């Protein structure tokens, strides 16, 4: 979530409209309220006691949000592979250049 989408934490924290619980850290509040305005509060999701399920939901929501801005794990792997490929190409080019230079020097000394 972009920093401009939120406001600073009030001194008392954030209190849930539904259950009245108060959250004094961004992470705890985000886990309870979700990552965006369309998210259901954790207390409204009947699996509230199933923290593992809730965390999986929040993780999926975060992954979906990253897909929307083309920053998914798959995108990151793709860009990392592109960077590795470019670096390997550059190394191969430099090796070839060095070999060519070495050969030219050898030819130069022999002639």
Residues at the site binding Zn ion, with contacts judged by CB under 5 A = 16, 18-19, 41, 43
Give min distance, CB of 78 to Zn ion, in A.
Answer: 38
Q: What are the strands, taking DSSP E only, across the chain?
A: 14-15, 22-23
Q: Which is nearer to Zn ion, 41 or 65 (CB)?
A: 41
Q: Is the separation of the CB atoms in 42 and 48 below 8 Å?
A: yes
* Residue position matching structure tokens 């022999």: 110
Q: Which is nearer to Zn ion, 18 or 79 (CB)?
A: 18
Nearest Cα neighbor of 17 from 7, 1, 29, 4 is 29
Q: Which is nearer to Zn ion, 16 or 28 (CB)?
A: 16
Give min distance, CB of 29 to Zn ion, in A.
Answer: 10
Q: Which is nearer to Zn ion, 43 or 62 (CB)?
A: 43
Give min distance, CB of 12 to Zn ion, in A.
Answer: 15
**CA–CA dist 41, 33 (Å, integer):** 4
Give min distance, CB of 35 to Zn ion, in A.
Answer: 15
């Amino acid at each position: 979530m972009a920093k401009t989408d939120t406001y600073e934490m009030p001194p008392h924290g954030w209190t849930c409209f539904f259950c009245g619980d108060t959250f004094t850290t961004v992470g705890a509040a985000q886990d309870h309220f979700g990552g965006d305005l369309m998210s259901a509060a954790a207390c409204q999701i009947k699996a509230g006691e199933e923290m593992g399920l809730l965390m999986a939901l929040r993780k999926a929501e975060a992954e979906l949000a990253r897909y929307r801005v083309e920053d998914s794990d798959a995108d990151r792997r793709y860009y990392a592979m592109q960077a590795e490929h470019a670096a390997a190409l550059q190394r191969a080019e430099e090796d070839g250049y060095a070999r060519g230079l070495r050969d030219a020097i050898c030819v130069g000394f022999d002639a």
